[in-house]
Chains A and B, each alone.
Chain A
Amino acid sequence: MENITQFTGALTINHYLFLSSVLFSIGVMGVLLRRNFIIIFMCVELMLNAVNILLAAFSRYNGNQSGQVFVFFIMVVAAAEVAVGLAILVMIFRNIRTTDINALKNLKW
């Protein structure tokens, strides 16, 4: 297959570093900002994806495919995590009838 970025030097690793740090910060901001536990879970997925972009970028700029295999394993673990996590959230919702994370503060202090 044709390699797309073979002939370019304009895009450096710094672009990807900055992009993924911005995405990661948006994920952290979402965890702090929202109260719905499903949205918080989605923001955690966003942070995982920020890290995935960075791993793929380093794999490309080092010419080593192991980084892409790591991304693949992160996706595998994320899929399993989402299945179990959503099952737990459905069970919690069935018990307390709300998605407010503030209803679950007994372990807070």
Chain B
Amino acid sequence: MLTIAFYILSALTISSALMVLFSKSPIYSVLWLVICFFSITGHYILLDAHFLAIVNLIVYAGAIMVLFLYVIMLMNLNKESEPQKPVWLKFASVITGCLLMIVLAGALKGYSELPPAAITEDFGTAKGVGKVLFTEFLMPFEVASILFITAMVGAVILAKKHVND
């Protein structure tokens, strides 16, 4: 039952990721990427990472993808303005990607068949992850807030229109 769910979700993930690459219009690429992130949320649920599933849904599929969509609409991109590569270069890049996949799969094939470990009741929930986050990883968590402020200020400064005077 769970294996079937895994295979369905994987097929959805991989096919939508491929559609991101091969759709002509950038808007469609973003929408396929949203579907891809939704199926990745499904994988997190299968892996008992309930907190990560919700965070992935809100942050990635919600915030980041809306940001991409806004930027594409602001730039007024469509199928006609889309730059294209020559066909031989496309073939070369597809072959390169397939070769990388073969190398990765071959290198990881002999990994041990690790069974899932026994886990506690609050594994992966907001309670369990929060406990680890606020005890072991408190310092990086605080540093992340500084990173966010820096990124916010930087984004505003970069995107602002410079007035020539």
Residues of A within 8 A of B (CB): 1, 3-6, 8-19, 21-30, 32-36, 38-39, 41-43, 45-46, 49, 52-53, 56-57, 59-66, 68-69, 71-73, 75-84, 86-91, 93-94, 98-102
Structural contact, A66 and B37, CB atoms closer than 8 A? no
* Contact residues in B for A59 (Cβ distance below 8 Å): 47, 49
B interface: dominant SS: helix
- The majority secondary structure among interface residues of chain A is helix
Residues of chain A contacted by B30 (CB below 8 angstroms): 42
Give Cα A53–Cα B123 distance, bound, in whole angstroms. 16
Contact present for B6 and A43 (CB under 8 Å): no
Q: Across the interface, do A73 and B144 meet the contact criterion of CB distance under 8 Å? A: yes
With A3-B123, A66-B136 known as contacts, the answer to whether A36 contacts B83 (CB < 8 A) is yes
What are 23 A-B pairs at a CB distance below 8 A? Answer: A1-B50, A4-B46, A5-B47, A5-B116, A6-B119, A17-B108, A18-B108, A19-B13, A19-B14, A19-B43, A26-B21, A28-B97, A29-B96, A38-B26, A46-B36, A73-B144, A76-B148, A79-B151, A83-B67, A83-B151, A87-B154, A90-B71, A100-B83
